[in-house]
Amino acid sequence: MTTTTAAPTRPRISLQRKRQRYGWFYVTPFLAIFALFFIVPLGYAAWMSLFSSTLAGGSQFAGLGNYVRAFTDPLFIGGIGRVAAFGLVMIPAQLIVAITAALVLDTLATTLSKISRLLIFAPYAIPVVVGALMWSFLYSPRFGPASTIFEWFGMAAPDFLSSSAIFGSLVNIVTWQWAGYYMIIVYAALRSVDPAIYEAARIDGANGFHIAMRIKVPMISSSMVMVITFALIGTLQFFTEPVVLRSMAAGAIDSAYTPNMYAYALAFQYSQFNYASAIAFSLGILVFIGSFIFLFFTRKQSGLK
């Protein structure tokens, strides 16, 4: 039994197999919760989405009727388009801030850099609701803090809560809240790179910029995949920030601003649970296809054995 290379005999194979089965013992508690609060609700929502209910006629089988309605519903399509636009702006914004900050921090070891690292990360510890509340105060023309900053630089402040500016205002909140978290992930990945590689590159004549672009960025690709995945999921699920800002900027954000908000309003304000489920599922299908394609092309970096 001391060597594992010896030709396995029959009883040992079965012992090994038996032991592997022990794995179920560890994963079952989680799988029970997974079944109860993921599989069952999802199955139930799929079921609900196939029916339509009216006050007069009760519940009726509608087949894919709700889905046809969803993909021709201008409110839903509008929300999808808006979220796609947010993704195109928000994900690069968060990524650029996070990666530049991490690259700069990686070359410094001063008290200032240590403090900055903590300050940049701090917004992650703030609940999203409180973060959004705070920014809605800052944006508010009645309180005036953001306009004060513009005045310091001698500029006229825009109306951050108007319908033309709200897109940028929301991008700013999300970047503020999450860039620091992503920065820490990227930074930790950078710290794990052996500095001897940089030394070798330097001898070969590479400067700091070359090292950053040609060595550091490729070496942390797996953490970048992780960060982009997080940012992607976060963007597609966009809900809390626009909901909170809505009470300050009612004219600029309607109840169907994002697909998640639309489904929420349908379910909890108009009690249209069937159609809400269909909307949520349609979004789910789009999210799933998108993430699957992304993860398929980056599977080498995912770090799973």
Partner 1 sequence: MALTTNTPIDSHTTTTGLSSRINRGAGRANRLGGRRIGSHVFLLILAFYFFIPLWWLFVASTKSTGELFGSPAFWFADITNFATNVQGLFMHDGGIYWRWLGNSFLYALAGGLGATILAVLAGYGFAKYSFRGRGAVFGVVLGSVMVPLTALVVPTFVLLSEVGLINTPWAVILPSLLNPFGVYLMRIYTQDAVPDEMLEASRIDGAGEWRTFWQVSLPLLRPAIVTVFLLAVVQQWNNFFLPLAVLTDPDLLPVTVGLNRWTALSNAGAGGEQVWNLITSGAFISVVPLLLSFLLLQRYWQGGLAIGSIK
Angle at 289 between CA 256 and CA 241, to 5 degrees: 35
Query: For residues 52 and 277, which CB has a smaller minimum distance to partner 1 in the complex?
Result: 277
Backbone angles phi, psi at 52, to 5 degrees: -130, 145
CB of 252 to partner 1, least distance (A): 13
Query: For residues 54 and 194, which CB has a smaller minimum distance to partner 1 in the complex?
Result: 194
CB of 253 to partner 1, least distance (A): 13
CB of 256 to partner 1, least distance (A): 12
Query: For residues 57 and 229, which CB has a smaller minimum distance to partner 1 in the complex?
Result: 229
CB of 238 to partner 1, least distance (A): 10
CB of 186 to partner 1, least distance (A): 8
CB of 108 to partner 1, least distance (A): 6
CB of 231 to partner 1, least distance (A): 13
Q: What 3 state SS string does the chain have? A: CCCCCCCCCHHHHHHHHHHHHCHHHHHHHHHHHHHHHHHHHHHHHHHHCCEEEECCCEEEECCCHHHHHHHCCHHHHHHHHHHHHHHHHHHHHHHHHHHHHHHHHHCCCCHHHHHHHHHHHHHHHCCHHHHHHHHHHHHCCCCCHHHHHHHHCCCCCCCCCCCCCHHHHHHHHHHHHHHHHHHHHHHHHHHCCCHHHHHHHHHCCCCHHHHHHHHHHHHCHHHHHHHHHHHHHHHHCCCHHHHHHHCCCCCCCCCCCCHHHHHHHHHHCCCCHHHHHHHHHHHHHHHHHHHHHHHHHCHHHCCCC
Query: For residues 38 and 297, which CB has a smaller minimum distance to partner 1 in the complex?
Result: 38
Query: For residues 6 and 109, which CB has a smaller minimum distance to partner 1 in the complex?
Result: 109
